[in-house]
């Protein structure tokens, strides 16, 4: 009988770990003022739960119990260390004196703690790769090995990166804060950028044999959902919508043998309709707010594709209009390129080639393989085979992804 | 907490400005320095003369080598140092983002190192040595 109860309690602890450990960590970082202390405290707290809940029963508020326990264990550890290290004394005494005060464990503080953690991990004073690594480690709870594998880095390099980031947070004194209203738009941008970077890493691996790494995209979407729960901002909706709409095409994007399938050739019956529905709802909400930005516009473009039964019945005019808005919000040659491709669909290949040539003539995107493969495709449709061949070869020279290489080589063969 | 703010600028930038542009820039910077002083954030600072006036000392093959010019020939050169007193990095960033000098060139913001322990231990070693 005891064995059964213990098993139930063990499962309960694991369940609480999965659901709450992120929030618990976020709060302990605030209470203890240090990432490493807080991480140890979380582990110690859950260990204590496994030992004590079978005897004491599962507490009514497991998260609060774990936070409290973690904090006490950390303070105990620091007081023991005080005997050996005088500089810890002040911190330890300060924490101990907070014991009798309310720990601010209500929903609002905990919710703020998670936002504090996200904004700190994504702080602009940290290098981009450090932000990504820290976010995946501290918020998504991935191991350093898993993160290293996902980004094709060595685990010790990744571990060093995280250590250096935490050191910088400590020594430059990056505060554990949610940015104020004046800073929020820019700071939110850096958070969204990190999340989208993680998504893209999973959606289209930068080099190597496999085109996608689904786990990373899943993590990014989960992050997006978490952020939206915490912060109801249109661009957060827009980013989540964009990721869902792109993710909805995953099954149709590669053939069983790993070949790349372009949007125009994808079997739309393989698109995930649930993700599309959720994405469309989010885009509409974001657009209604009128405070949307580039992510929402990109999501709106993805939505037009998602709603179309096939390439021919796609509202290309609307896509061009959205790209025009996007190019204004966020001028970039890549957005211009995508707009050129849409113009080609609306007005014919010649119009598209002209726009792409204008971009290349400026010196932009000279080394961007998609610019050359897009140009090649339009030339092919116009029957300009020599130009198509030259552009396909240029694109081939510039891409490292195996499925894309095979796709380009096939096109070259078809040209004859 | 002290943050050392290093202001960099392209050497010729000042010269290529018109007199009124230069005066405007200078006035803006001095006005903001005063704001920092008034609010207790200005813990010190110096403007530097142009990098042409710099001399660099280097240890080379057992002795000091003296050369003309700044440490590194970069496009932007150090033009001034500001010692900032701020709560934390966000506060330092907020304060220096509003400094008109950032329009003239980049600011590097670095936390001052606390050498209290190191100094104390060194004093102990040196007092024993006596």
Query: What does chain B look like in DSSP terms, one character per residue?
Result: -EEEEEEEE-TTHHHHS-HHHHHHHHHHHHHHHHHHHHTT-EEEEEE---GGG-EEEEEETTEEEEEES-SS--SSEEEEEEEEE-SSHHHHHHHHHT-GGGGTS-EEEEEPP--HHHHHHHHHHHHHH-
> Rounded mean pLDDT of B43-72?
93
Tracing tokens 């061009």 back to the chain, one arrives at A320
SS (H, E, C) A248-288: CCHHHHECCCCCECCHHHCCHHHCCHHHHHHHHHHHHHHHH
Of A87, A175, A183, the CB nearest to B88: A175
Q: What is the ipTM of this complex?
A: 0.86
Work out the pLDDT band at A103, boundaries 50, 70, 90. low
Q: Which residues contact A156 (CB under 8 A, 6 or more apart)?
A: none
Select the residue of A87, A173, A177 nearest B111 (Cβ to Cβ): A173
Please name the residues in contact with A132: beta carbons below 8 A apart, sequence gap of 6 or more: A151, A194, A197, A198
Tokens of A354: 């002209």
pTM of structure: 0.86
∠ CA B22-B25-B29, rounded to 5°: 140
A38-59, pLDDT tens digit by residue?
999 999 999 999 999 999 999 9
> Which residue, chain included where needed, has tokens 């700044």?
B70
Is pLDDT above 90 for A211? no
Strand arrangement, sheet containing B42-47: B42-47, B77-85, B2-9, B107-111
DSSP code of residue A400:
-
- % residues pLDDT > 70 (chain A): 90
Return the residue matching tokens 């009514």. Answer: A60
- Residue from the list B89, B94, B117 with its beta carbon closest to the beta carbon of A173: B89
pLDDT in tens, B15-24: 888 999 999 9
Whether the CB of B115 is below 8 Å from some CB of chain A: the reply is: no
Give the residue numbers in A contacting B (CB under 8 Å), as ranges: 87, 125, 171-175, 177, 179, 183
Q: Which residues of A touch B111 (CB under 8 A)?
A: 171-173
Closest listed residue to residue B104, CA positions, set B84, B85, B80, B69: B80
pLDDT at A87: 60
Chain B residue with minimum CA distance to A169: B89
- B8 min Cα distance to partner chain A (Å): 18
CA dihedral (A226, A227, A233, A234) positive or negative: negative
Give CA–CA dist A79/A92, Å, rounded.
6
Tens digits of residue pLDDT in A11-34: 999 999 999 999 999 999 999 999
- B88 interaction partners in chain A (CB closer than 8 Å): 173-175
B89 at interface of A, judged by CB pairs closer than 8 A: yes
Q: What distance in Å separates residue A34's CA from the closest CA in chain B?
A: 15
Q: Which of A87, A173, A183 sits opposite B88 (nearest CB)?
A: A173
- Kindly determine whether residue B90 and residue A177, on different chains, have CB atoms separated by under 8 Å: yes
The minimal CB distance from B111 to the residues A171, A175, A183 is found for: A171
User: What CATH number has the domain spanning A315-416?
Assistant: 1.25.40.10
Contact A125 B89 (CB under 8 A): yes
Distance from CA of B101 to the nearest CA of A (A): 20
CATH of the domain at B82: 3.30.70.1060
Contacts of A171 in chain B (CB under 8 A): 111
Of A87, A172, A177, the CB nearest to B111: A172
Residues 38-57 of B with CB under 8 A from A: none
| Chain B: residue whose CA lies nearest to A119 | B90
Candidate from B89, B110, B117 with C-beta closest to A174: B89
> Closest approach of chain A CAs to the CA of B74, in angstroms?
22
CB pairs under 8 A between A and B: 23
Scanning every residue of chain B, which has its alpha carbon at the shortest distance from the alpha carbon of A126? B89
Q: Domain count for chain B, please give it.
A: 1
Report phi then psi at A213, rounded to 5. -125, 95
Q: Is the pLDDT of residue A125 over 90?
A: yes
Helix axes A402-415, A385-398, angle to 10 degrees: 160
Structural contact between residues A17 and A46, judged by C-beta atoms closer than 8 angstroms: yes
Confidence tier at A3 by pLDDT (50, 70, 90): confident
Q: How far is CA A241 from each of CA A132, A228, A302, rounded to the nearest angstrom?
A: 21, 11, 9
Strand partners, B46: B81
Predicted confidence band of residue A90 (pLDDT cuts 50, 70, 90): low
Domain residue spans in chain A?
2-105, 315-416
CB within 8 Å: A174 and B88 = yes
Which of B4, B89, B92, B120 should we substitute to test contact with A (largest number of A Cβ atoms within 10 Å)?
Answer: B89
DSSP letter at A207 equals S
- Output phi, psi for A219, to 5 deg: -60, -45
Residues on chain A touching B91 (C-beta within 8 angstroms): 175
| Subunit contact B90:A87, Cβ cutoff 8 A | no
Tell me the per-residue pLDDT of A343-379, one tens digit each, with 9 for 90 and over: 999 999 999 999 999 999 999 999 999 999 999 999 9
Residues 6 or more apart whose Cβ sits within 8 Å of residue B87: A175, B1
Question: Which residue range is the domain that position B118 belongs to?
Answer: 2-129
Q: Does B94 touch chain A (CB under 8 A)?
A: yes
- Average of per-residue pLDDT across A294-315: 95
Closest among A248, A386, A379 to A306, alpha carbons compared: A248
Among A46, A47, A40, A26, smallest CA distance to A78 is for: A40
Residue A207 predicted with pLDDT over 50: no
Tracing tokens 């936390």 back to the chain, one arrives at B111
């Amino acid at each position: 009988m005891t064995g059964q109860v213990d098993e139930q309690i063990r499962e309960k602890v694991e369940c609480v770990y999965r659901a709450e450990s992120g929030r618990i960590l976020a709060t302990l970082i605030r209470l203890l003022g240090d990432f490493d202390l807080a991480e140890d405290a979380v582990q110690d707290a859950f260990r204590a739960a496994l030992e004590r809940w079978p005897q004491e029963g599962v507490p009514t508020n497991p998260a609060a119990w774990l936070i409290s326990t973690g904090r006490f264990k950390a303070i105990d550890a620091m007081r023991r260390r005080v005997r050996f290290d005088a500089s810890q004394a002040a911190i330890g005494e300060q924490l101990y004196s907070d014991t009798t005060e309310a720990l601010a464990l209500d929903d609002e503080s905990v919710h703020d703690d998670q936002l504090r953690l996200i904004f700190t991990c994504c702080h602009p004073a940290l290098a981009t790769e450090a932000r990504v690594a820290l976010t995946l480690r501290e918020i998504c709870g991935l191991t350093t090995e898993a993160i290293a594998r996902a980004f094709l880095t060595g685990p010790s390099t990744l571990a060093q990166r995280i250590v250096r980031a935490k050191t910088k947070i400590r020594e430059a004194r990056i505060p554990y804060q949610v940015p104020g209203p004046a800073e929020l738009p820019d700071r939110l941008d850096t958070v969204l950028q990190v999340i989208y970077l993680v998504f893209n890493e999973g959606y289209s691996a930068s080099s190597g044999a496999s085109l996608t790494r689904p786990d990373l995209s899943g993590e990014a979407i989960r992050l997006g959902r978490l952020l939206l729960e915490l912060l109801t901002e249109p661009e957060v909706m827009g980013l989540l919508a964009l990721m869902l709409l792109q993710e909805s095409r995953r099954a149709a994007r590669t053939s069983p043998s790993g070949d790349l399938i372009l949007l125009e050739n994808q079997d739309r019956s393989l698109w995930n309709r649930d993700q599309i529905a959720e994405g469309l709802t989010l885009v509409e909400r974001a657009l209604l707010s009128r405070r949307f930005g580039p992510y929402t516009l990109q999501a709106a473009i993805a939505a037009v594709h998602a709603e179309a039964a096939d390439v021919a019945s796609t509202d290309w005019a609307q896509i061009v209009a959205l790209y025009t808005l996007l190019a204004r919000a966020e001028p970039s040659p890549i957005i211009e390129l995508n707009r050129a491709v849409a113009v080609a669909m609306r007005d014919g290949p010649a119009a598209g080639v002209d726009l792409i040539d204008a971009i290349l003539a400026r010196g932009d995107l000279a080394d961007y393989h998609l610019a050359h493969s897009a140009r090649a495709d339009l030339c092919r449709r116009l029957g300009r085979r020599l130009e198509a061949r030259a552009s396909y070869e240029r694109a081939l020279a510039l891409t490292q992804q195996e499925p894309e290489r095979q796709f380009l080589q096939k096109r070259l063969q078809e040209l004859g | 907490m002290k943050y050392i703010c290093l202001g960099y600028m392209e050497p010729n930038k000042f010269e290529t400005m018109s007199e009124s542009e230069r005066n405007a820039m200078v006035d803006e910077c001095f006005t903001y320095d005063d704001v920092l002083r008034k609010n207790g954030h200005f813990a010190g600072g110096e403007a530097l003369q142009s990098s042409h006036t710099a001399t660099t000392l280097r240890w080379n093959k057992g002795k000091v080598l003296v050369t003309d010019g700044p440490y590194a020939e970069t496009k932007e050169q150090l033009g001034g140092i500001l010692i900032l007193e701020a709560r934390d990095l966000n506060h330092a960033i907020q304060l220096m983002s509003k400094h008109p000098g950032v329009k003239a060139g980049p600011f590097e913001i670095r936390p001052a190192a606390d050498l209290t322990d190191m100094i104390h231990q060194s004093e102990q070693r040196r007092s024993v040595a006596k």
